[in-house]
Amino acid sequence: MLTEYTLFGVRDKVQIAIDRIRQFEPPEGYYVAFSGGKDSCVVLDLVKKAGVKYDAHYNLTTVDPPELVYFIRDHHADVEVHKPKETMWQLIVKKRMPPLRQVRYCCSILKEGGGKDRVVITGVRWAESVRRSKRRMVETCRTNNSKRFLHPIIDWSELDIWDYLRKNNVPYCSLYDEGFKRIGCVLCPQQSGEGMKRDAKRWPKLAEAYKRACVKAFNKNVKDKRVQRSWKSGEDMYEWWINNKASEKVDPDQTVIFE
């Protein structure tokens, strides 16, 4: 719960998070990494309540659920949208195969570039996964030491998030009401094969676009006489990928970056 009664008195998680945001405010203001997910919605609302200087940013990946894109457009017009230099379809052809759990070239190119020389606020929480349970509230980016992170709700639970959203009438993406637990890229390979097939059924046009990109990637490999694993065609590459044959292990930490 957002309010806890302990031996040391009342612990108000909302006020604690607001105090954290105020405590670490940099002179230039925060870079709020906004994904449109429920945790991002809570963090952005807390930043506004804290009264600190900030600018919010959303990286459009070109494979975002349409419902998420419309939600951000309709409810967060103040968030700056960044379009990538290359679409996912172009990257698949360039890399000669779709992204895999072990080869996540898409995340670094489409999602993680912003926030250089800034303090970046995210919605990362310990309760999300084993890997995230080892994160610190304040930390330096491992790939760019000019970028620092503040995770003000790192100790919040899933129930805390929903409690806050409902009590404060904060809008959230409709996909959660359809049963989606986390919202990330459509057909993200970090989920299970069943999850990927669910996405393909839910968003068939995006699934077809992935298949066309696989065909182009396969044909490029044939033209350049590259090794093709066991694939016999671009369609075969796509089926191998969507059934998640590269790995059966699921890592929930990477489904979304800044939820």
Per-residue pLDDT tens for 52-77?
Answer: 999 999 999 999 999 999 999 999 99
DSSP per-residue letters across the chain: --EEEETTEEEEHHHHHHHHHHHT--TT-EEEE--SSHHHHHHHHHHHHHT--EEEEEE--S-S-HHHHHHHHHH-TTSEEE--SS-HHHHHHHHTS---SS--HHHHHHTS---TTSEEE----GGG-TTGGG--SEEE-SS-TT-EEE-TTTT--HHHHHHHHHHTT----GGGGGT-SS--STT-TTS-HHHHHHHHHH-HHHHHHHHHHHHHHHHHHHHTT---TT-SSHHHHHHHHHTTTT-----GGGS-S--
- The residue behind tokens 């409690």 is 163
- Tens of pLDDT, residues 37-54: 999 999 999 999 999 999
Sign, CA dihedral 181-184-40-147, equals positive
Cβ count within 10 A of residue 27: 5
pLDDT digit string, tens, across residues 182-212 = 899 999 998 888 999 999 999 999 999 999 9
Sign of CA dihedral 218, 222, 226, 230: positive
Its pTM stands at: 0.89
Class of domain 3-254: alpha beta
Choice among 18-27, 33-42, 110-119, 159-168 with the minimum mean pLDDT: 110-119
Provide φ and ψ at 248, rounded to 5°: -95, -5
Report the pLDDT value the prediction gives residue 112, as an integer from 0 to 100. Answer: 85
Q: Once rounded to an integer, what is the mean pLDDT over residues 145-151?
A: 95
Q: Using one digit for the tens of pLDDT, what is the confidence trace for 78-105?
A: 999 999 999 999 999 999 999 998 888 9
Domain boundaries, the chain: 3-254
Banded model confidence at residue 247, pLDDT cuts 50, 70, 90: low
Rounded to the nearest integer, the mean pLDDT of the chain is 91
